[in-house]
Amino acid sequence: MELFAVLLLGIYFFILGILAIFGLHRYYLTYLYYKHKGRLPQDVPAFEALPRVPFVTVQLPIYNEKYVVQRLVQQICALDYPRECLEIQLLDDSTDETQEIAKAVVREYRQLGHPIVYLHRSNRKGFKAGALDEGLKVAQGELIAVFDADFLPEPDFLKRMVPYFFARRKYGMVQARWGHLNQDYSLMTQAQSILLDGHFVIEHTARNRSGRFFNFNGTAGIWDRRCIEAAGGWHYDTLTEDLDLSYRAQLKGWKFLYVPEVVVPAELPVDMNGFKAQQHRWAKGSIQTAKKLMPRIWRSALSPRVKMEASFHLLNNFAYVLMVVLSFCMPLSLYLRHQLRLQSILWIDLPVFLLATVSIASFYVCSQKEIYPDWKSRLLYLPLNIALGIGLAINNTKAVFEALFNRQSEFTRTAKYAIAKRSDAWQHKKYRSSFGVITLVEVFLGLYFSLAVVYAFAHGLWMSLYSLLFFQIGFFYVGFLSLFQGRPNVALAPSLSAPSVSVD
């Protein structure tokens, strides 16, 4: 009994220590942000002062987007840019009625004189990366802008972004910041918006302006076509083609630029299963990219600080694996320590867990303070934000192991329903996601932590309640929303209905 307790407690505190390191890294990114946020690109001309107007191709990859494709085309055709130097490609891989809607809206805007073309593939080879690659083969632009179906750039987007390619330093890619069309729709979208703000306000700025690698986010950015080609073009062997190409390009010596002042709003997922599918894709793709490129990164002549930050960036999702192990160990370790009268080391839990959670909270507080005048009111959502991150642990751990063991899966795009205000409904619409066995595990863990909470209350183990409640709420919130909002998957497992992707 005592040997088992020692082993379990050793694993438990070891994992807590590693998670605390991830927490310290958040502090480090925040430090880099405040140290370098004032380092702005030099000698960027106004659009009117450019020596020439470059030809821009705007690529719009879509797949079964019946609710938003018309809105997308309308917004892109409103871009204020010389038509003789602009080309818009609607890259449609759709297999449903989106095809007819897309053809009709393209026809309408072509008749109005807009330089837009419709390109449809009979298969989804390479998924989004394949569509972008096929479009690039016939594109005329020297600059390539990409927007996903739910992104709505302002008319002056190109005029604000293109001049950066004429700055003193030559850039291969310029990325704008994501905004949120529907962040006030629900508690979940509020929490999501804070998660994304941390990434786009703190992480991107810190990495880019301190000279570390950062990545194109798949949309709301512009590439120099020569950069794409020099890096080897779009590859299909990961689920995050944007991250993969970004790192390959920077390994080739191309410089990237992040412009947080230019904001492109997009639709946040409104259903938990759609959100989990998105997070699964991002987590799996980042580990696939790490497997593919980490050896090349560490063999390169890059500085140790760049290599180390790239490693934290690409391997960050391993924290979810540790979180899952911790989830199973925490209640059991609580019970064993109480039974063996080791209550004194319960005091270790709180400071270590606080180190991890407070670092996350402060990270997101800084992001909210930087961009919202009413940032204090948004802090009410921080506890849910932390709980949501914990609740995603099972979902994202599955993604990590699928990547590690080359488990094939399709590129599951995030469903968009044209949701902008609270009164908009989506439950009756097509593309509703299903839930599987992962959801049942999440609910089980919620119940598991409920027992631990009851045990802690009954025995006065107050120091452990802080962490136990976060885990209980996180797993229940993610699990029950998945059950109530989703359709049951008959096989309780993901089905493959399209060409698959794997990493060799």
Active site residues: 93, 242
Of 339, 244, 250, 338, give the one whose Cα is nearest residue 284: 244
Q: In sequence order, which ranges of 417-503 are alpha helices (DSSP H)?
A: 437-458, 462-485
Q: What are phi and psi of 255, to 5 degrees?
A: -100, 140
- Computed on alpha carbons and rounded to an integer, the radius of gyration of the chain in Å comes to 23
- In the DSSP assignment, the letter for residue 414 is P
Contacts of 460 (CB under 8 A, 6+ apart): none
- In the DSSP assignment, the letter for residue 40 is P
Amino acid code (one letter) for 44: V
Written as six digits, the tokens of 493 are: 């497992």
Q: Hey, which residues does 224 pair with through a beta bridge?
A: 143
Longest dimension (CA), the chain: 80
d(CA 9, CA 336): 9
d(CA 14, CA 25): 17
Contacts of 212 (CB under 8 A, 6+ apart): 32, 206, 305, 306, 309, 310
Contact call for residues 89 and 62 (beta carbons, < 8 A): no
CA dihedral defined by 8, 12, 15, 19, rounded to 10 degrees? Answer: 170
Is 371 exposed, middle or buried (CB count within 10 Å of its CB: 0-12, 13-18, 19+)?
middle
3-class state of residue 151 by DSSP: strand
Task: Tabulate helix, strand, coil % of the chain (nearest 5).
Answer: 60, 10, 30
DSSP string, 268-304: PP-SHHHHHHHHHHHHHHHHHHHHHHHHHHHHSS--H
Q: What are phi and psi of 260, to 5 degrees?
A: -70, -15
